[in-house]
Amino acid sequence: MGYLDSGGLERYHAGIKALIEVQSVYVTGRTPSIEAGANRRYVCGEVEQVSFTPCSTGVCDVLFTSGSPAAVLVLPNGVKFPEWFDAKNLAENTIYEINILDGRYGAVMTWPA
């Protein structure tokens, strides 16, 4: 039956499912400070400032709304984002989802609020 017997195949599928499942953590307040854990999504409302220390391994992300005036995002140096994204100059009235892999590689999605 190849490399995996039926029990091994079930364990393999359970491991894959665990890798893609992310636990949501709901955060309150207008100026949250978050030390992220792996495989966690931190969901905030409208914020004035969010300080986000990403997990060192795995994936973590934060979802928040930048109101008017625009929110301030505080991240440690060394997180690399796409060239179009300027973490120091967020847009007003915009929803942000910031994903960070292994504490170094960032991805960003935005929507109008």
Residue 13 binned pLDDT confidence (cut-offs 50, 70, 90): low
- Do the Cβ atoms of 47 and 32 come closer than 8 Å? yes
pLDDT over 60 at 24, yes or no: yes
pLDDT at 60 over 50: yes
- Token pair recorded at residue 84: 């179009």
Give the dihedral of Cα atoms 80, 81, 85, 88; nearest 10 deg.
Answer: -30
Q: Hey, which residues does 35 pair with through a beta bridge? A: 53
Pick the more confident residue, 15 or 6: 6
Structure-token match 């665990």, residue found: 18
pLDDT at 3: 45
Q: Which residue has the higher pLDDT, 2 or 10?
A: 10
